[in-house]
Amino acid sequence: MDWNLILRRIQDVSNYDAFVELELELSRGQETHLFDFLFTHSISGGRGGGVAACLLIEIDPAPTRSCKELLAEIAKSKWNVSTKEVPFFMISWFGKRTVRNTCQGLIGEANLTPEQTQRVSTIIYWTNSPAANLIRSYHDWPWREADDAS
């Protein structure tokens, strides 16, 4: 798979149909590096981060690292804390209690900057919400688009 081309396509997704087309293509590939690619771009900030995060929860590839390792990556990333699909993915794979406890442990033991601590604390914040709230906008996407076309 040409990852640079996939990244450009993620950044160019402009509607739900384009998203579904890309999701179907990626999920057929059974590419072993798909999780790493989508997770990395989900937490990178930028235009494609939200779309990559939606692809991450839609395709649902198995994480290649532990909860603690992924949270450490989030802490050091440029993750847009409004991209709630990232904590949703973490919760769906590891469970709310594990994610929350691992966050608290990471904050307690790691030498995090205030910005990194804020990112990890935001994950804790999102674990205190109903999981459905974390992906409500994802599920509303096709409906919003249909309303806009009316």
Confidence at residue 147, expressed as pLDDT on a 0 to 100 scale: 57
pLDDT 10s digits, 42-75? 999 887 999 999 999 999 999 999 999 999 999 9
* CB contact at 8 A, 34 and 26: yes
The string of DSSP codes covering 29-89 is: H--TTHHHHHHHHHTS-STTHHHHHHHHHHH-PPPSS-HHHHHHHHHTS---TT-THHHHH
Residue 131 and residue 91 in contact, taking contact as beta carbons nearer than 8 Å? yes
CA diameter of the chain: 53
pLDDT at 101 over 70: yes
- 87 vs 144, residue with greater confidence: 87
Q: How confident is the model at residue 99 (pLDDT cuts 50, 70, 90)?
A: very high
- Residue 137: its H or E element: helix 136-149
Residue 133: pLDDT band with limits 50, 70, 90: confident
Q: Is the model's pLDDT at 143 over the cut of 80? A: no
Residue 56 has φ and ψ, to the nearest 5°, of -60, -45
Q: What is the pLDDT of residue 140?
A: 66
Q: What is the pTM for the complete model shown? A: 0.89
**Residue 12 near residue 52 (C-beta atoms within 8 A):** no
How far from 37 is each of 6, 44, 50, 63, 107, CA to CA, in Å?
10, 11, 13, 11, 26
- Residue 149: per-residue pLDDT: 58
Q: What is the mean pLDDT of residues 27-32?
A: 75
